[in-house]
């Protein structure tokens, strides 16, 4: 009968159940043939061969003799010394890889503001933000073509039915082809002191669009040196975000919906 504790301990260091059972037989018998291992383990013969091959590759067993072929356990101290060295090397390589994927000096280091440095990360954060929005969504778009690429027509229509959606475009012509009603900044409503400084994102040359969800989180998508970059701001009822949303809404006027 196979020692279940032995199998459990071996599984904790990465062996499969079959590998652990095969190794248990070899460990206790010192060496064994495939037939002996098969008879004691009671596992499929093909799995015995697969496990032996894997255990030999990992350094736990070695082949001795040839007629019949026998498998013996290797020196435990040497085996685990090699395993530790290999694990340390793999961890070091993984650490260096991850360091190479992140920027050395993030723009923000607080828990409530951080960068998204890949398009995959931006797309997935955007998807989560839209699905979690409950009552109000402001989308200020400087590039409606890119906006419709990132947020499909069907999703925009669903959002318009689900929440108070304010889709702000830079110019009247930018509303063409957008499947939901759009708005633009009304210069008459904007105070004279602010007319030369248009609200975000329109004053940013490389901006794509900006979203404010429920006045608690904000996502700004821009291009920086030709690369897409997302900036996330998140906190509970942040005063700055709430004030920005309130002011932006107060400066808006609706546009007639124009379809291509």
CATH number of 32's domain: 1.10.10.10
- Sorting pLDDT into bands at 50, 70 and 90, what band is 37? very high
Confirm whether 233 is domain-assigned. yes
Q: What is the pLDDT of residue 187?
A: 75
What domain count does the chain have?
2
193, pLDDT greater than 80: no
CA distance 219 to 119: 13
CA distance 31 to 65: 10
Confirm whether 102 is domain-assigned. no
State mean pLDDT over 129-149: 91
Confirm whether 108 is domain-assigned. no
Confirm whether 150 is domain-assigned. yes
Q: What is the pLDDT of residue 137?
A: 94
222 and 126 within one domain? yes
Question: Considering 87, 104, 126, which residue would you say is the last residue of a domain?
Answer: 87
State mean pLDDT over 130-134: 92
206 and 128 within one domain? yes
Confirm whether 237 is domain-assigned. yes
H/E segment holding residue 48 = helix 45-58
Residue owning tokens 């699905």: 131
Confirm whether 176 is domain-assigned. yes
202, pLDDT greater than 80: no
* Candidate from 67-81, 209-223, 237-251 with smallest mean pLDDT: 237-251
Number of Cβ within 10 Å of residue 223's Cβ equals 15
Q: Which domain holds residue 147?
A: 113-254
Q: Are 245 and 237 in contact (CB under 8 A)?
A: no
The CA-CA-CA angle for residues 234, 236, 240, to 5°, reads 70
Whether this prediction's pTM lies above 0.75 is answered by no
State mean pLDDT over 29-42: 91
Q: Are 90 and 206 in contact (CB under 8 A)?
A: no
Confirm whether 36 is domain-assigned. yes
Q: Which two tokens stand for residue 111?
A: 């828990």
Pairing relation of β-strands 136-141 and 164-169? Answer: parallel
Question: Considering 87, 105, 122, which residue would you say is the last residue of a domain?
Answer: 87
Confirm whether 260 is domain-assigned. no
Region class of 244: left (phi > 0), else alpha (psi between -120 and 50), else beta: alpha
The CATH number of residue 171's host domain is: 3.30.870.10
Please name the residues in contact with 83: beta carbons below 8 A apart, sequence gap of 6 or more: 13, 58, 59
- Sorting pLDDT into bands at 50, 70 and 90, what band is 108? very low
120 and 30 within one domain? no
DSSP state of 107: S
148, pLDDT greater than 50: yes
Q: Which two tokens stand for residue 17?
A: 């159940």
State mean pLDDT over 190-206: 60
131 and 67 within one domain? no
130 and 172 within one domain? yes
225 and 189 within one domain? yes
Q: What is the pLDDT of residue 110?
A: 47
Question: Considering 26, 52, 87, which residue would you say is the last residue of a domain?
Answer: 87
pLDDT in tens, 52-105: 999 999 999 999 877 788 999 999 999 999 999 989 999 999 988 888 876 654
H/E segment holding residue 185 = strand 183-185
Please name the residues in contact with 138: beta carbons below 8 A apart, sequence gap of 6 or more: 166, 168, 211, 212, 245, 248, 249
- Give CA 215 to chain center in angstroms: 24
- Sorting pLDDT into bands at 50, 70 and 90, what band is 247? confident
Q: What is the pLDDT of residue 8?
A: 94
State mean pLDDT over 173-201: 74
- Sorting pLDDT into bands at 50, 70 and 90, what band is 207? confident
111, pLDDT greater than 70: no
82 and 120 within one domain? no
185 burial level (CB within 10 Å; 0-12, 13-18, 19+): buried
DSSP state of 193: G
188 and 61 within one domain? no
198 and 126 within one domain? yes
- Sorting pLDDT into bands at 50, 70 and 90, what band is 176? confident
Q: What is the pLDDT of residue 109?
A: 45
Q: What is the pLDDT of residue 217?
A: 85
238 and 159 within one domain? yes
224 and 127 within one domain? yes
165 and 56 within one domain? no
Following DSSP, what letter does each residue of 149-169 receive, concatenated? HHS-HHHHHHHHHHSEEEEEE
Q: Are 121 and 241 in contact (CB under 8 A)?
A: no
CA distance 132 to 213: 9
CA distance 114 to 91: 26
pLDDT in tens, 1-33: 788 999 999 999 999 999 999 999 999 999 899
């Amino acid at each position: 009968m196979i020692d279940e504790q032995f199998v459990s301990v071996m599984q904790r260091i990465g062996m499969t159940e079959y590998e652990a059972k095969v190794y248990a037989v070899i460990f206790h018998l010192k060496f064994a043939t495939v037939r002996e291992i098969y008879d004691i383990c009671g596992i499929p013969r093909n799995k015995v061969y697969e496990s032996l091959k894997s255990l030999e590759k990992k350094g736990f067993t070695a082949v001795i003799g040839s007629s019949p072929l026998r498998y013996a356990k290797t020196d435990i101290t040497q085996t685990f010394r090699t395993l530790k060295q290999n694990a340390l090397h793999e961890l070091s390589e993984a650490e260096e890889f991850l360091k190479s994927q992140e920027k050395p000096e993030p723009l923000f280091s607080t828990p409530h503001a951080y960068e998204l440095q890949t398009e995959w990360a931006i797309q997935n954060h955007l998807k989560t933000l839209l699905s979690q929005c409950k009552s109000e969504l402001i989308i200020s778009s400087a590039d409606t073509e890119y906006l419709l690429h990132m947020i499909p027509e069907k999703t925009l229509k669903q959002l318009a039915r689900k929440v108070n959606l304010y889709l702000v475009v830079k110019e009247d012509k930018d509303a063409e082809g957008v499947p939901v009603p759009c708005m633009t900044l009304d210069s008459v409503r904007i105070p004279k002191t602010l007319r030369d400084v248009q609200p975000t994102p329109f004053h940013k040359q490389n901006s794509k669009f900006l979203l404010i969800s429920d006045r608690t989180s904000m996502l700004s998508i821009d291009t920086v040196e030709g690369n897409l970059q997302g900036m996330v701001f998140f906190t509970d009822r942040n005063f700055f975000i709430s004030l920005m949303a309130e002011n932006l809404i107060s400066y808006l006027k609706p546009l007639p919906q124009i379809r291509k």
